[in-house]
Amino acid sequence: MSVNLHPVAPVPFVSKQHQDTARYPHGVAFMDGQYLPMSEAKISVLDWGLLHSDATYDTVHVWDGRFFRLDLHLDRFFNGLAKLRMDIRMSRDEVAEVLQNCVGLAGHRSAYVEMICTRGTSPTFSRDPRNAVNRFIAFAVPFGSVANAEQMARGLHLAISNTVRIPPASVDPTVKNYHWLDLVKGLYDAYDQNAESALVLDYEGNIAEGPGFNIFAAHNGRLSTPAQNVLPGITRRSVLDICGALDIPVAEVPVSVEHLLAADEVFITSTAGGVMPVTKVNQTVIGRGDVGDLTTRVKDEYWRRHADPEWSTPVRYFVEGV
């Protein structure tokens, strides 16, 4: 794969596509050494990423022109690559440069930025994963959230599915992955109960996580969050760090269904939306049924930190912000 890290050449092409308002989402992708409009970023149907979910990825966001905790996302991505024995033939700095360029070319002030490595395809359609040429893809599209503005104001309604999250002995949860059939089943179970999103259980029957988010519960001013059997989210990490800074007691412990339903406050965390309040789980109203003070405090501090140079890095834009 030839890696074109030079951002200047594709600019006119990309910005022309970018003005095409009929295409959604607006964004810029990088693959096979080139920057492309989102609509042209396509992979082979023979890619192991599609055929076997043999892939890892990470998502970082840009808020108000700054990447949030990019280093932690790159750490997690490169850790996943090593564990899956994938080689993208690019350094960490080169990946950071590509992500910068995707956002810089797209011009988004707030973006959802994904880096992906699939096992790729083998020239002979061999069944031996070692013969596949691993494929690196990155893209930047507009920022998206699990919760919309109305849900942020009143709190989300979640339902606990009896689906068990794929156990760590099968798939290492510290490697961010697309093994989502359990999470998608959880979503349909939740929709059947008129809820808006789902929680799935771990193999011990405790609360694990939801489709792309971790969960926290507050009891008498103390937070708890599941420690095992979950993807170690960077937003979760950020909340733990914020709790340290604000002297909010927090414990990483198993969270039972009963414990969650008895909470004063519940919130979920994801790069796609940050800290998001939950006011109903199954048919149980959480606490007073509105967005709690602790949730608001943590959420406000989380967003305040997006301007902190220790937690964020500025994007270099090539085109005007959109």
Nearest to 147 by CA among 191, 212, 69, 193: 212
> Is residue 273 a contact point for ligand PLP (CB under 6 A)?
no
> Is residue 103 a contact point for ligand PLP (CB under 6 A)?
no
- The residues near 309 (Cβ < 8 Å, ≥ 6 apart) are none
Q: How near is the Cβ of 94 to ligand PLP at its closest, in Å?
A: 22
> Is residue 268 a contact point for ligand PLP (CB under 6 A)?
no
Cβ nearer to ligand PLP, comparing 25 with 232? 232
Classify residue 50 as exposed, middle or buried by CB count within 10 Å of its CB (0-12, 13-18, 19+): middle
Q: How near is the Cβ of 291 to ligand PLP at its closest, in Å?
A: 20
Q: Collapsing DSSP states into helix, strand and coil, what is residue 8?
A: coil
Which stretches of the chain are DSSP H helices? 11-18, 48-52, 70-83, 92-106, 149-154, 181-192, 234-246, 257-261, 293-304
Q: Which single residue brings its beta carbon nearest to ligand PLP?
A: 233
CA distance 71 to 7: 21
Contacts with ligand PLP, 158-177, as mask; x by CB under 6 A: ------------------x-
> Is residue 116 a contact point for ligand PLP (CB under 6 A)?
no
> Is residue 311 a contact point for ligand PLP (CB under 6 A)?
no
Cβ nearer to ligand PLP, comparing 135 with 236? 236
Q: How near is the Cβ of 321 to ligand PLP at its closest, in Å?
A: 24
Nearest to 77 by CA among 171, 175, 168, 178: 175
Yes or no: say if 142 and 155 are a contact pair by the CB < 8 Å rule: no
Cβ nearer to ligand PLP, comparing 100 with 269? 269
When binding is defined by CB under 6 A, the residue of 236, 299, 305, 306 that contacts ligand PLP is 236
Looking at the DSSP assignment, which residues form a beta bridge with residue 62?
Answer: 67, 111
Contacts with ligand PLP, 190-229, as mask; x by CB under 6 A: -------------------x--xxx---------------
Count of beta carbons in the 10 Å neighbourhood of residue 277: 22
Count of beta carbons in the 10 Å neighbourhood of residue 164: 16
Yes or no: say if 112 and 242 are a contact pair by the CB < 8 Å rule: no
Q: How near is the Cβ of 87 to ligand PLP at its closest, in Å?
A: 22
The owner of tokens 């990088």 is 30
CA distance 258 to 261: 5
> Is residue 235 a contact point for ligand PLP (CB under 6 A)?
yes
> Is residue 270 a contact point for ligand PLP (CB under 6 A)?
yes
In the 8-state DSSP scheme, what is residue 210?
Answer: B
When binding is defined by CB under 6 A, the residue of 269, 279, 295, 312 that contacts ligand PLP is 269
When binding is defined by CB under 6 A, the residue of 80, 107, 233, 277 that contacts ligand PLP is 233
Query: How many residues line the site for ligand PLP (CB under 6 A)?
Result: 14
CA distance 41 to 266: 38
Q: How near is the Cβ of 97 to ligand PLP at its closest, in Å?
A: 21
Q: How near is the Cβ of 271 to ligand PLP at its closest, in Å?
A: 3
Cβ nearer to ligand PLP, comparing 36 with 99? 99
Interface residues with ligand PLP (CB under 6 A) are 59, 176, 209, 212-214, 231, 233-236, 269-271
